[in-house]
Amino acid sequence: MANVNLSTLIEQIPGIGAVFQKKLKKLGIKTVRDILYHFPHRYEDFSNIVPISKVKFHPVRKSEKKIKGQSRLLKFSNGVNETVCVQGKILEIKNEKTWKKRMFLTQAVIQDNTGAIKIVWFNQPYLTKTLKQDDSIYLAGKVALGDDGAYLSNPAYEKITNYKLQTDDLIHTGRIIPVYPETEGLSSRWLRYIVKPLLVELSTQIPEILPKEIIQKNNLLLLKQAIWQIHFPDSMDLAKKAQKRFSFEELFLIELAVISAKMRLNKEQSTAIPMDVKLMKKFVKSLPFKLTDAQRKSAWQILKDLEKPCPMNRLLEGDVGSGKTIVALMAALETIKAGYQVALMAPTEILAKQHFQGVSALLKDFNINIGLLTGKEDKFVSRKLKQEVIEISRRKLLEKTKNSELDILIGTHALIQGKVKFGNLALVILDEQHRFGVDQRARLCQSQAIQTNKNKNISLLRTVATVRRSVPHLLSMTATPIPRTLALTIYGDLDLSLIDELPKGRKKIITKIVAPANRQKAYNFVKKEIKKTRQIFVICPRIESQKDKENIDTASSWANVKSVEDEYEKLSKEIFPDAKVEMLHGKMTPKEKEKIMKNFKNKKTDILVSTSVIEVGIDVPNATVMFIEGADRFGLAQLHQFRGRVGRSKYQSYCLLFTDSPAVKTRQRLRALITSEDGFKLAEKDLEIRGAGDFFGARQWGISDLVMDSLKDIGLVEKTRNAAQKILEQDPELKNYPLLQERLQKFQEKIHLE
């Protein structure tokens, strides 16, 4: 592979054609470096090479029944279901079709100098074109017992063309074998063929970026050794050490990125907004309820941040219904009365309009001009003129925003359109901030910016810090509790405020897992709630049924997951024919969604069948039952948010979880939801059971699965953070570490810390 280096594009690598180039790009692989850093997600141990005569199994015990015609995995004398590897010569190989099961069987017999054994591959007839009589071959797999004796079932194979071959030279058998994340038409076997020669050529060319003192202090493998051992390990212990090395490296880069971003932001200038204690007391007194202690504490932290001449960058966390918006409004009111503008961006039109209505009501006595800007709708409230909500042209609304005649502008992604210009923006509030991309958030903060950096794939803070002379304060809100490890890494550049208590007087939501046999009882219970004039949410994981589109009939398949459209038909026509049932999903137009939600909020609808679109921002106090189909398809954090959509009034509320999954993990997760109402504890549990990739979605950040899994390890996270903190305190620009500086820059361009 002459002239190939780490930055070589996959199009220039010999042996990788256009078809495979497309498949590799689907996995995010564009260069040689990307291939070498596409790490295995598990391993097969095929290192137990034995003579064929030593492949033994225990005889079937009298108490064990053997089902005729079915293969059964055997118990070996030295362990149950032990995987073995044998080496020999093919005596015969042929294809046979079983008409009963319409399946191809490829059968072979191989022999060494101690004996012979039968081999069977299922539905791989092409093997007879690759493997021929008299070929020497390694085979690795499990032994099964058929009606005519023992055989190797579906083994991995590797032809021997060089008889001086050592086991270290093997790729697919005879050693610990890497199994990679795959895509359709791109197998681990193919990836091994590509990775091995690249390692031979380039492993010594990959520069070591970690400082020697960090490698020694944390007992890490050197890069040249680690890159070999993670792909083709000599032992499982070395595989784990290699994984630790690369987990540490990537976590270390993340920590460097977020800590350096925070350090740079602290050097930027922002508008210092003095705290007006009288104003805050007046606002709190105007509320129809008392603030919780957690709300007061969070508000104090935020208002003190606003007083500083450097930009606030704070994440306000709190369960659904904990009162985050009230706290954010205190910051907004403080900013407006100091003579500046506020932008509030929500991820959906439903939530933006709800904020507009809520903010208008809560600030009605404070002479605030409020605007609403969504994709198709513009509204304006001028309390100075004692007017109600009025429709306004987009041109006039944009003009008022630019001229600073508008105090607070609430909207969706429409706020980051190029035409939206703020005259004096000092505070940006993002609701459910993780639903916005880095570039979207940065563009909102750039509304009055002097742009000097157009790199879109870096964190919000870094972008803001390089594109503004006066950086607006940023307050992000989320109802998704952040586990400690994620807070230290992904959100390490944010200051955190927690609202960890709900308003007093709310009844505990009764949560139950409903067995399939008790479904009718659940329907009867819902009927009773409807008779009490209560309302019901029914959540489904998907919009449309695809049973007709997919030829899949397994109970666990996506095709069998309940859909909104099917459940709407079933519930409205068969189960609750006397109730008013409507459905809501993301494919509907904004006007359709608004009408349906308005009907539900105004009690014109009894049952709302919906997708996860209701997860964010919908407030219906009269709803008392959250009915979740396919609960195993959602994470604990998401289920907890669904549950938070009920229990918002004096009435007893319920959350009913339905699942057909027999998996132990599923039951374990759902039981955690029953035993705890603490969103933060549930988030930690979700991270522990499912991993960070499932918690938020690994692809969202561009971070490897290996690191996502490592985020469960608080000890490792703290080690990397401490190492990054120490090195940046001594050398903020990393001038003494040029290779690390270069790698960090490339890493920042790749990841999307949201």
Q: What is the 3-state secondary structure (H, E, C) of 645-678?
A: CCCCCCCCCEEEEECCCCCHHHHHHHHHHHHCCC
* Topology match between the domains 52-57+70-173 and 265-499: no
Domain 52-57+70-173 annotated CATH 2.40.50.140: yes
CB contact at 8 A, 389 and 360: yes
What DSSP string runs through 496-550? EEEE--PPTTPPPPEEEEEPGGGHHHHHHHHHHHHHTT-EEEEE-SBSS--TTT-
Contacts of residue 179, defined as CB under 8 A and 6 or more positions apart, other chains included, come to 40, 41, 42, 43, 44, 188
The closest of 230, 617, 564 to 412, measured between CA atoms, is 617
- Which pLDDT score is estimated for 365? 87
- Which pLDDT score is estimated for 626? 95
**Residue written as token pair 């490792």:** 716
- Torsion of Cα atoms, 78 then 81 then 83 then 84, to 10°: 50
Helix, strand and coil percent figures for the chain, each rounded to 5: 40, 20, 40
Pick the CATH number of 510-676 from 3.10.450.50, 3.40.50.300, 2.70.210.12, 3.30.565.10: 3.40.50.300
CATH class, domain 265-499, is alpha beta
- Which pLDDT score is estimated for 76? 40
- Which pLDDT score is estimated for 1? 60
- Which pLDDT score is estimated for 327? 96
Q: Is the dihedral of CA 696, 699, 701, 703 positive or negative?
A: positive
Q: Is 348 helix (H, G, I), strand (E, B) or coil?
A: coil
Structure token pair of residue 435 = 């639903």
Structure token pair of residue 133 = 């009589």
- Which pLDDT score is estimated for 635? 80
In the chain (754 residues long), the average pLDDT of successive 10-residue segments reads 82 90 90 92 91 69 42 40 85 86 86 91 91 92 78 89 71 93 89 92 89 95 95 95 94 91 85 95 92 94 95 87 91 96 87 87 90 78 64 86 91 80 91 54 45 32 40 87 75 82 80 92 95 94 62 44 89 94 85 84 93 72 93 84 86 92 80 82 73 51 72 86 94 94 84 56
Domain positions in the chain: 52-57+70-173, 265-499, 510-676
CB contact at 8 A, 486 and 459: no
Burial of 663 (0-12, 13-18, 19+ CB in 10 A): exposed
